[in-house]
A and B are shown apart, each in its own frame.
Chain A
Amino acid sequence: AQSVAQPEDQVNVAEGNPLTVKCTYSVSGNPYLFWYVQYPNRGLQFLLKYITGDNLVKGSYGFEAEFNKSQTSFHLKKPSALVSDSALYFCAVRDAGFSSGSARQLTFGSGTQLTVLP
């Protein structure tokens, strides 16, 4: 089974400060990890992913995330937050090992509401 935990329902940060949104995961094999962002009344927008290679992944809008295998974490970071970054952020995982025909569906965390204060 695969699972994701986002331990913080809400993160508040002042504009211009660095931000971190935490994510830990559990899979039986190697993980494929994703971050998505959801603005009000919108679908999920893809931010970045880790499949293999460099542990530091850079994505859209200046976001980055670091894969830490020993801590089973994939925290989302941005050096300088913008008010426009305020949204709901979801971490997702899939076990890299799969059999032909399996769904390869993502398991999502419960989301973290990020509020950037002006």
Chain B
Amino acid sequence: GAGVSQSPSNKVTEKGKDVELRCDPISGHTALYWYRQSLGQGLEFLIYFQGNSAPDKSGLPSDRFSAERTGGSVSTLTIQRTQQEDSAVYLCASRGLAGEETQYFGPGTRLLVL
């Protein structure tokens, strides 16, 4: 597609439930990032995928968070047993070939945990 897309755009869930957030990167982009933007905060790095390499999970805040990227394209971020502090906007970004430094962001998924 023309840009990074994410779904759903909004998600309201109850504490303790699991949620899945989806990201479709720009076609042909090999690198994919997940960030979290909490109210009034900057962006916090969560996880990074590059091609077929093992993902860099160093930013995941707890073992309730996981992500996968199937076929080197679409990625799913899963949050298990959601907590109220997980409420945030989850942003996905993709980046092109090596040497291209710019990350292009999707519109985000706004998650609210009640």
Q: Is the CB of B48 within 8 A of A103?
A: yes
Count of A residues near B, CB < 8 Å? 26
Assuming the contacts A42-B107, A103-B58, A105-B48, asked whether A90 and B101 have C-beta atoms less than 8 A apart, the reply is no
User: With an 8 A cutoff between CB atoms, is B33 at the interface?
Assistant: yes
Chain A residues closer than 8 Å to B35, beta-carbon distance: 108
CB <8 Å contact, B4 and A43: yes
Q: Is the CB of A101 within 8 A of B50?
A: yes
Do B42 and A44 touch (CB < 8 A)? no
Report B-chain residues with C-beta under 8 Å of the C-beta of A106.
Answer: 43, 45, 103
B56 at the interface (CB under 8 A from A): yes
Count CB-based A-B contacts (< 8 Å).
63
B105 in the interface (beta carbon within 8 A): yes
Query: Given that A43-B4, A43-B108 are contacting pairs, would A105 and B101 also be in contact in the complex, using a CB cutoff of 8 Å?
Result: no
Least CB separation from B50: chain A residue: A101
Chain B contact residue count (CB 8 A cutoff): 28
Which of A45-53, A63-71, A74-82 has 4 or more CB atoms under 8 Å from chain B? A45-53
Instruction: Name the residue in A45, A106, A109 with the highest tally of chain B Cβ atoms < 10 Å from its Cβ.
Output: A106
With contacts A43-B108, A105-B59 known, is A110 near B41, CB below 8 A? yes
B91 in complex: contacting residue of A44, A103, A104, A111, CB < 8 Å = A44
Q: Mark B41-62, 1 if CB is under 8 A from A, else 0.
A: 1110100101001001011000
List residues of chain B with CB within 8 A of the CB of A111: 42
Contact residues in B for A101 (Cβ distance below 8 Å): 50, 53, 56
* Cα separation A42 to B105 with both chains bound (whole Å): 10
CB-CB under 8 A from B106, the residues of chain A are: 43
| A interface with B by C-beta (< 8 Å) | 4, 32, 34, 36, 41-46, 49, 51, 90, 92, 94, 101-111
Nearest 3 A/B pairs, CB to CB: A103-B48, A108-B42, A103-B56
Q: Can you report 20 A-B residue pairs in the complex whose CB atoms are below 8 A from each other?
A: A32-B101, A34-B102, A41-B110, A42-B107, A43-B105, A44-B43, A45-B105, A46-B104, A90-B43, A102-B56, A103-B48, A103-B56, A104-B31, A105-B45, A105-B56, A106-B43, A108-B35, A108-B42, A110-B41, A110-B42
